[in-house]
Amino acid sequence: MPPLLELKKVTKIYGGGFLNKDNQTIAVNKASFTIEEDQPKIVTIAGESGSGKTTMTRMLLGSITPTYGEMFYRGKDFRKLSRRERRQFQLEVQPIFQDPFESYNPFYKVDHVLHAPIKNFKLASSKDDRDRMVVEALHMVGLQPDETLGRFPHQLSGGQRQRIMVARALLLKPRVILADEPVSMVDASLRATILDSIQTLNKELGITIIYITHDLTTAFQISDTILIMYRGNVVEHGDVERVIHNPQHAYTQLLIDSIPQPDPDHRWGELVRATGTDMVGTGKQRDIFGIEPGIDVEYDEVEPNHWVLRSDVAMNGQTPAGSSAEPAVPAGS
């Protein structure tokens, strides 16, 4: 059985052109990524702003096409999908965006955002069927229909609006949900609720979750696999516990060291101060992590299910494998 989704050495370049090749931004560089239908997981794509994770998400959604490389849906080149196959893809791969308020029309009640996909994809044969589907979807994300339906978006909390978007995605019975920073706009208590909902979708409904975030703590808490991105490159990927507890790339070490830990003997950000992050280049030059635009990507498997981008850059005078930094992991996780 072919993978549900597969990216093969995809590169996305913005700007430039035939007469202006120097003014280019390589948002994603030769990245490969596979989603198996029969192995539903929570996969995190992590990195700072500008690392390329949102561009990777948009390619997985099919909303932008790679400049180079190939994307496959159920083994077929995405560019050659028929209209019917594209419609099926839209059913099976659904997004949840960072700011749910942008997904709502303020002139419509929230019912509209739930009814629209049912009508567009002709999922219900009657109004009663449609109403039943909406109520079931709301219950699945922990919302009471009588406290939610019939209201305008501004009358609901940020957490309620976010969970309605999860319910909307569930109406289409997707195989993959791409969640782009789904908890960045809510407070700590709602964050825990939404993360718990994401885990439930994965474990009980068998939905693969692609979790996009800059927060390694929540990534460690819920993920099976993690990809660390920096300047368009996947610099480290594999089993989340192996990557976080034994970071091999200098950039991954820096990210983990930047997490505050409740330990008075641990000096927060020692590696950050040691490297001087203001030296990190943003232009054409090689930066302190050895990353430059359009580099060739080669990976070493440092342990089972743990790969790191080949690099000669060490951190703080140590080899990359010498780091013992660990993230602040919430109690009970």
Q: What is the pLDDT of residues 250-304, one digit of tens each?
A: 889 888 887 766 666 655 555 544 444 444 444 455 567 778 777 888 999 999 9
DSSP letters, 179-248, are EESTTTTS-HHHHHHHHHHHHHHHHHH--EEEEEES-HHHHHHH-SEEEEEETTEEEEEEEHHHHHHS--
Q: Report pTM.
A: 0.83
When pLDDT is averaged across residues 103-127 and rounded to a whole number, the result is 88
CB burial of 163-181 (b: ≥16 within 10 Å; e: otherwise) equals: bbbbbbbbbbebbbbbbbb
Kindly tell me the number of DSSP H helices and DSSP E strands found in the chain.
11, 12
For the cut 70, the answer to whether the pLDDT of residue 14 exceeds it is yes
* pLDDT for 97 beyond 80: no
Model pLDDT, residue 283: 46
- Does the pLDDT value for residue 224 go beyond 60? yes
| Tens of pLDDT, residues 140-182 | 888 899 999 999 988 988 778 888 888 898 898 899 999 988 8
Q: What is the pLDDT of residue 182?
A: 80
pLDDT score recorded for residue 20: 65
Residue 67 pLDDT > 90: yes
3-state helix, strand, coil in the chain (%, to 5): 35, 25, 40
Q: Is the pLDDT of residue 86 over 80?
A: yes
